[in-house]
């Protein structure tokens, strides 16, 4: 069965915006709004210790604040050096204006 955990209200993440969400017992997640559609990925950069929420989102690409590497937040793929390892992506669902993380 699938366990749903509330991440945030959909209205908290405007188009082009990002929100860091820390759920108990989990690594921090980053909810991103790409042209009205929401995506969730790990918030910590895979290159070193940095919170991507402090970087910049341009379309579907998030730029790390520390060394400027980037990721596609839709696929998680690393897009520019020094980032090489993909970000983990997380399935979410938006119901009645609330964003849920889906856990198996
Ligand atoms: Fe993100 Fe280095 S920590 S690019």
pLDDT in tens, the chain (104 residues): 789 999 999 999 999 999 999 999 999 999 999 999 999 999 999 999 999 999 999 999 999 999 999 999 999 999 999 999 999 999 999 999 999 999 98
Q: What is the ipTM of this complex?
A: 0.99
Residue found by looking up tokens 């399935």 in the block: 91
Residues enclosing ligand 1, CB less than 6 A?
A: 45, 47-48, 50, 64, 66-67, 69, 82-83
- Where residue 64 sits, what CATH number does that domain have? 2.102.10.10
Give the position, in ligand 1's atom list, of the atom nearest the Cα of 65: 1
CB 30 within 8 A of CB 40: yes
Domain count, the chain: 1
C-alpha distances out from residue 17 to 2, 9, 26, 44, 48, Å: 27, 13, 22, 17, 23
CA of 48 to the centre of ligand 1 (A): 5
Domain that holds residue 42: 3-103
CA of 16 to the centre of ligand 1 (A): 21
Count of alpha carbons within 13 angstroms of residue 16, beta-carbon side: 1
């Amino acid at each position: 069965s699938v366990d749903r955990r509330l991440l945030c209200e959909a209205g908290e993440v405007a188009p082009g915006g990002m929100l860091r969400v820390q759920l108990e017992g989990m690594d921090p997640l980053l909810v991103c709004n790409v042209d009205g559609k929401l995506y969730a990925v790990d918030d910590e950069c895979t290159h070193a210790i940095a919170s991507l929420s402090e970087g910049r989102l341009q379309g579907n690409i998030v730029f790390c604040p520390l060394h400027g590497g980037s990721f596609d937040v839709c696929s998680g793929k690393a897009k520019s050096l020094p980032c090489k390892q993909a970000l983990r992506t997380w399935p979410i669902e938006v119901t009645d204006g609330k964003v849920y993380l889906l856990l198996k």
